[in-house]
Chains A and B, each alone.
Chain A
Amino acid sequence: MIKNKNTNSNINGAKNVKNVKRIIHNIILVIFSILWLFPIYVMVIDGLKSASGVLITPILFPAKSSLGPFITVTTALERPILNSIIYTVPTAIISTYIGAMAAFYFYKKARMINTLLFTIIAIATFVPYEITLLPLTKFISSIGLLNTYPGIIIAMLIFYLPTGALLMSIFLAVLPKTTLESARIDGANDWTIFNKVVLPLAMPGFISTFIFILIESWNNFFVPLVLVTTPGMNSASLALMSYTGGYGTLYNESFASAFIASLIPLVIFVFLGRYFIRGFQAFGTGRKG
């Protein structure tokens, strides 16, 4: 009887510890969620205010609202957002796919070459944009693609292909080696192995890399800034700038446009976010891709 009680209280004790842990866990999650949602909250409530209202009411509290600013900026941002989609989606797909191919090549090749190329790529990933200003502009205009979709995509690829290769190398490193060897024994060539075995196994990593590059290139301000010469080719990131600076900033429209422009990456992250996280979890837990 006494013994029973004892084990019971032990179990209760363990449960309590578990509960406390869970509560702390949740509190931390809530704090982080608030911190992360905070900018969105500010963008939305201040975007709903009137041009004068946004100046006289406290920034953190809602005031008299109308959809006016949102409607205005949405119309104005339609084209830039479409442009941004055209710039970034191909960039992200191509960078990730070709990056994955490069990563597969490194995976297969001898260690020494691998390390060397890998280092070069890692350096390329961290080259500051500004350094490339002149050569990039010269190069793109010399091939006659200044202020064109292909020109901007090519310029973006120059920056994001190394990122794709680098990230995909990290994801490929955890693939089971013998599974790929077994495909060779089964008679598959590199192309088949890449498409039928490597890509499906590395899909979570592929999606993570895709999302990462998509968001990075969506926010990229530098490439369109130097390569776009007419307003019709503006990217969302460029168009956003027109709401700040210049003569007299309309703060409500700034907030609204910032919100609209971040909507696309946000939606993608909401839908594909779990793959993003799963891709990175593959390392922590040792799970294969």
Chain B
Amino acid sequence: MVNIKLNNVSKIFKKGKTEFKALSNINLEIPDNSFFGILGASGAGKTTTMRIIAGLEAPTMGEVLFDKTVVSKDDRTIIDPEERDIGMVFQNWALYPHMNNYENIAFPLKVKKWNQNEITKRVYELADILGIREVLAKRPGEISGGQQQRVAVARALAKNPKFLLLDEPFSNLDANARDDARALVKKVKNELGITTIIVSHDPADIFALAEKVAVISRGNLVQLGTPKDLYDYPSNERVAGTLGDINIVDFDLKEKNGYYDLIFENFIITGIKLNDYNDSKITLGIRPEDLIIEKSTEIDSNIETKYEGNTQKIGVFEADTVNYNQGSFSVVLNISGTKIKGISREPIFYGDKVNVYINKSKIKLFEYASKDAIKLNEEIERN
């Protein structure tokens, strides 16, 4: 078990005369025994971060520490990957195609010169935990993607590594296999109590597994926290989008005795308190589940008590497209060309008149110019 630390890590790739900065000044500490997530869009620098931790790349600047030991620093690898005692599952699993699955899992142990009985015992033990005992005699090319992924996890865990690195381990699986695989990884991690880092572009992986998450965007670490914190309080518009579906709309501001109205066509949110904001426009983020949609029934009193929290009725709109997924209907409103998505619990059809409510306590506000989050002290006050 080990505490991993990245101090001011930057990575520059040189291709001929052009330089590309894949990571800039990353500072991270991954505590012993934690399940840590790194989230970011494709090309953000996640794999590069992981390869630097593994020792497959050296940081161009900065240092990587395992506990108190500097393992690489300023373009030098001090401890080679083969000495770092880590387990890693690659994005494409990278199994040995010429060995059967038993030999794949046994490979790190043979390298460590374990004796044959110990190896067999260990391989079977892992195969049982991961449910791949029947496929041990087959080669990786002869089993399903989900099974290959489990073989890769078993191989990574075989030598009882100090920690486990998972690089998009589920991205090559179909949706069902992915749910199973997440559950399995969580179980294994809990049983073995090993420090684990998962890298993914899919927030679902992070919410299912990670206790803490770092969001990377274009080589910069933009936010660090629990998944829930980041989901509810993203530090900028980009983080908000990385953690899940969100409507981002620019609103006009109109002051009304100390409070502001946010106006976008006939979509108007009233009574927002803002301190020291000096722009006539503001960017608002609202997640679909915080925009509640129901069939309009003409009489709609008692809005305030209808939904928990700080709910405000925006008005009556016309449903544009409707998608059904997993028990809810996502309804898109088309407000002069801008699509805004909300959620309905009952079936809604194209052209239906709908009431739209917004959960004001879940509104995320960003500066119009910089798209950085505007800190709202506590809840947004009611009118």
Contact = CB atoms under 8 A, between A and B. Distances in A.
A212 B112 CA distance: 37
B111 A201 contact: no
A178 B92 contact: yes
A187 B159 contact: yes
Given A186-B107, A186-B111, A179 B82 contact: no
B337 to A, nearest CB: 44
Contacts of B84: 185
B80 interface: yes
Which of the four size classes fits the interface of chain A? 10 to 19
A176 B82 contact: no
Contact of B94 (A178, A189, A192, A196): A178
A156 B45 CA distance: 49
A79 interface: no
A107 to B, nearest CB: 14
A192 B110 CA distance: 10
Contacts of A249: none
A186 B155 contact: yes
A94 interface: no
Contacts of B159: 186-187
Contact of B111 (A181, A187, A200, A288): A187
Given A178-B94, A200-B98, A183 B56 contact: no
Contact of A184 (B80, B95, B112): B80
Nearest to A190: B82
B333 interface: no
A186 B80 contact: no
B71 to A, nearest CB: 14
Contact of A288 (B86, B97, B107, B112): B97
B94 A184 contact: no
Contacts of B107: 183, 186, 188, 196
Interface string A181-211: 1111111110010001100110000000000
Given A181-B56, A186-B155, A187-B112, A197 B81 contact: no
Interface string B76-118: 0000111111111011101111100000000110011000000
Contact of A185 (B81, B91, B95, B97): B81
A288 B94 CA distance: 12
B53 to A, nearest CB: 11
Contacts of B97: 179, 201, 288
A184 B82 contact: yes
Nearest to A288: B97
A179 B94 contact: yes
A184 B98 contact: no
A197 B94 contact: no
Contacts of A184: 56, 80-82
B146 to A, nearest CB: 19
B76 to A, nearest CB: 13
B54 interface: yes
Interface string B47-83: 0000000101000000000000000000000001111
A192 B111 contact: yes
B18 to A, nearest CB: 14
Contact of B98 (A186, A192, A201): A201
Interface in A129-180: 176, 178-179
Contacts of B87: 185
B224 to A, nearest CB: 26
Contact of B90 (A182, A188, A192, A196): A182
Contacts of B90: 178, 181-182
A185 B86 contact: yes
Interface in B241-275: none
Contacts of A197: 96
Q: B84, B90, B92: which has the most chain A beta carbons within 10 Å? A: B90
B96 A185 contact: no
Contacts of B155: 186
A201 B98 CA distance: 7
- Looking at A176, A178, A186, A201, the one whose CB has the most chain B CB atoms below 10 A away is A186
B82 A185 contact: yes
Contacts of B108: 186-188
A275 B92 CA distance: 27
A200 B56 CA distance: 23
Interface string A218-256: 000000000000000000000000000000000000000
A188 B158 CA distance: 14
Contacts of A288: 97
Contacts of B80: 184
A196 B107 CA distance: 10
A176 B92 CA distance: 10
B96 A179 contact: yes
A34 B154 CA distance: 55
A141 B97 CA distance: 48
A188 B111 contact: yes
A183 B112 CA distance: 12
Contacts of A188: 82, 107-108, 111
A192 B96 CA distance: 13
B98 A187 contact: no
Contacts of B82: 184-189
A272 B173 CA distance: 39
Contacts of A176: 92, 94
Interface in B158-174: 159
A207 to B, nearest CB: 14
Interface of B: 54, 56, 80-88, 90-92, 94-98, 107-108, 111-112, 155-156, 159
13 contacts: A178-B90, A178-B91, A178-B92, A181-B56, A181-B81, A181-B90, A181-B94, A182-B88, A184-B56, A186-B108, A188-B107, A188-B111, A201-B98
* 5 closest residue pairs by CB, A with B: A186-B108, A178-B94, A182-B94, A200-B98, A187-B111
Given A184-B82, A192-B111, 6 more contacts: A178-B90, A185-B56, A185-B86, A185-B88, A186-B107, A200-B98
